[in-house]
Structure 1
Amino acid sequence: MAEDCPEFNYKSSDFIKQIEWTANADSKLDALLQSRWAVAKGNGYFLYDLDQLESRVLSGQYGFVSQLNMGRANLRRKPQEMMSLSQPFDKQKFNFTKVQSREILMVLHNEDRRCKGKKEREDKDVVLLNVSPIEHCSVLLVPSINSQLPQILTQEALEVAIEMTILSARRSLLVGYNSLCASASVNHLHFHAYYLEHKLRLQSEPTKELSGPCHVMLSWPVSGFVFQLVDGDVMTLARNVYKVTEYLHNREIAHNVCLTRGSRLGDDTDFTHNTLRAFIWPRRSVYGVKPVDAFNVAFSELAGHLPIMNETEFDKLSEESAIDALQQAKLPSEKFQSLQKDVSDLFIERPT
């Protein structure tokens, strides 16, 4: 990894904790990300062009956003074979230290860690081009890139992902993670991030409290857990999400995570009080190389954004068939009920 990557330095005072739903301004991060992505696009660094990306919102309760993206199905790098959530990092296979220097957009550097006397990260948190883009400004966030960590979430990585999300002033930014056996294509710790200029139902999906800060969704087609950012406390949100993902990982339960702006948790779907929502979906594992159908089920699809692999499937897709496809990844109801109890126990305060 090149040592002269451009740095994006920031402090907690740069975090944008709330935005109006109609806001359309760019932060410093948004402006830099878009300008560098545009240069890369102009220089032809991507494997295919997104200019003709066709979109439609499926009619129905959930308002799924369907997009025809045949390039990602046909021209992307071949996904790696995943056989376990604990599959070790293999430096002989493709990993993000092997990308070309032109694919490096920036290094994220939180100056508060030094100012507050905290130990600085010894490695670099890097934003890379996604040369197989999902949507506009499709990038990869790779925390501690040179440490060559396998695709297993850490609390520190979650902190960086949350920070990147709230450095953006755009409510359209999605940041997501796919575990091994949950549609991750590369066994090197990373998140996807991109702008999706559609309002997703998930961002106002009603929730109910399960235990403490942990909520569950009330009516989403695939059940999951939800947390929110409170008073800009990045560390607490990262810790809460990590408690659940660590529990899932230790039990070999595949999972997807999505960070997005949205309404405060509860049954009030008013967007006047915005927060950052963090979704976690436990799901069935997919072993080996990911199958190609109308779409694979990863964090994007679970959030309601459906990149479709071929024109025939795109033309015939309905909300009903999309739900059927999503629910192929759903845990059996009795297993999720048992999991709810276990996750609830993680957040019960016990006397010391």
Structure 2
Amino acid sequence: MMTSPTVRLEDLPNLQQLLESRWSELHDGQQQESVFRYQLIIERERVTDGRAGFLLQLNRQRTTERRKPDIFSGLRPLFDPTRFNFNKVDSREILLEFTIGSTLVSILINNSPLTRNHVLIVPDLTQNQPQVLTADSLTVAVQLMLKLADRNYRILYNSPGALASVNHLHLHLLHISHKLYVEDACLTELQNGLYRLDNQPAKAYCFVLDPLSSTATEFANRVHQLIRILISNNLAHNFFLTWNHNRSNLCAFVYPRLVACENKQIAPFNVAACELSGFVPLGLESDYERLDEQQLEAYFQQAQGEHLYATVDGLVARGR
């Protein structure tokens, strides 16, 4: 049973428990017809040798059983009601609904999960917003991260041209019980609280939120300023929200891409938000066994573009 849409996030002290118990009930319960495409089984798991320590997981079913991703062009695609969207899901897939400010937030299972409790965050589901990150949706993401007691949760988003698979505004919530390299990497401050991830496998810009000194809305608006610059310059991007190494501050990483990838893999795996951040799910055992940090970094550079910082730094400095 869903929570009433009139319930506010602040009135859900047991949000995490609700989410996890309802996810488990659907995934683990004995139902005649499951809403999941497969039972999540991580066959193998290892951490790469080297400075980054990527978490590699073998999940063959994700590759073979998931719904085929849609192909859509441009960073501002029009919402197409005839294509798959989240209004068409089985009603059992909606775990929770509540409001954050004026936004109605629907929490849906991801029926092809990467981790346990892998869900989708869909702001104002029936308004049929395309997969373009908004300031309100960023505020929702930050508020949810602040609400969840377990700080191994992360939130991510993939834009069109950066391996988004559904053109209906949504973010992913994942539980990853592993420290990711971006969480304790040194950051270079550029200007006004904007940082850059230097000398690391992926290229990213970062904003840091101290929950005691800034609000979720203020933080989301700062992140969205960068997102707007990227969109206005037709640069695809990935977004990753996580806690830092000591779990005191939130870090929002934005990974620009100089060349859009229209749902065509340029590597043996998706080079999207979680992979760029250090979590690499794989569908083939041969890839799981052979990939190392040098190869992963090469794939990241190919996906993002070799001279990315030279391009984006200039756009950020000019504010356009």
**TM value normalised by structure 2:** 0.92
Q: How many residues align?
A: 313
User: CA-to-partner distance for each residue in 1:305-342, whole Å, 9 max, x for gaps?
Assistant: 00112111111111111112222112232x42131132
- Gap change, CA 1:345 and 1:53, over 3 Å in 2: farther
- How far apart, CA to CA, are the structure 1 residues paired with 2:301 and 2:151? 27
Say if 2:198 is the partner of 1:254: no
**What is residue 116 of structure 1 aligned with on the other side?**
none
Distance 2:150 2:57 in 1: 20
Contact 2:117 2:175 (8 Å CA) reproduced:
yes
* Aligned with residue 276 of structure 2, among 288, 302, 307: 302
Whole-Å separation in 2 of the counterparts to 1:221 and 1:147: 37
Secondary structure at the counterpart of residue 198 of structure 1: coil
Q: Which amino acid is 1:217 matched to? A: L
Question: Structure 1 residues 287, 35: CA separation in 2 closer, same or farther (over 3 Å shift)?
Answer: same
Q: Which amino acid aligns with 1:338?
A: T
2:98 paired with 1:108 = yes
Structure 1 residue 152: Cα displacement = 0.5
Among 278, 286, 291, which residue is 2:252 paired with? 278
User: How far does the alpha carbon of each residue in 1:114-170 deviate from its partner, in whole angstroms, 9 at most, with x for none?
Assistant: xxxxxx34xx21110000101111000011111100000110111001111111111
Partner of 1:22: none
Given that residues 84 and 287 in structure 1 are in contact (C-alpha distance below 8 angstroms), is that contact kept between their aligned partners in structure 2?
no
Counterpart selection for 1:42 from 28, 33, 36: 28
Cα distance in 1, alignment partners of residues 282 and 266 from structure 2: 10
What letter is aligned with 1:55? E
Determine the C-alpha separation between the residues in 1 that align with 2:276 and 2:77.
24
Query: Which residue of structure 1 aligns with residue 285 of structure 2?
Result: 311
**1:240-268 superposed Cα distances (whole Å, 9 cap, x missing partner):** 110011111111100000000114xxxxx
**Cα 1:73/1:51, change in 2 over 3 Å:** closer
2:74 is the alignment partner of 1:84: yes
Number of the residue aligned with 2:225: 243
1:128 corresponds to: 108
TM-score computed with the length of structure 1 as normaliser: 0.84
Cα deviation for residue 292 of structure 1 reads 7.5
Counterpart Cα distance in 1 of 2:86 and 2:178: 30
Give the 4+ runs in structure 1 shifted more than 3 A. 4-8, 284-289, 344-347
- Unaligned segments of structure 1, at least 5 residues: 15-26, 114-119, 264-270, 348-352
1:331 aligns with 2:317: no
Partner of 1:162: 142
Q: Name 2:17's counterpart in structure 1.
A: 31
Q: Percent identity?
A: 32
Amino acid at match of 1:81: I
Q: Quick one: distance in 2 between partners of 1:244 and 1:288?
A: 22
* Counterpart residue identity of residue 300, structure 1: C
How far apart in 1 are the matches of 2:42 and 2:195? 38
Shifted more, 313-322 versus 173-182: the winner is 313-322
Segments of structure 2 that go 5 or more residues without pairing to the other structure are none
SS at match of 2:8: strand
Q: 1:199 to 1:288 in 2, by over 3 A?
A: closer
Does structure 1 retain, via aligned residues, the 8 Å contact 2:229–2:315? no
Matched to 2:111, the amino acid is V
In the alignment, what sits opposite 1:18?
none
How large is the Cα RMSD of the aligned pairs? 2.1
The aligned residue for residue 195 of structure 2 is: 215
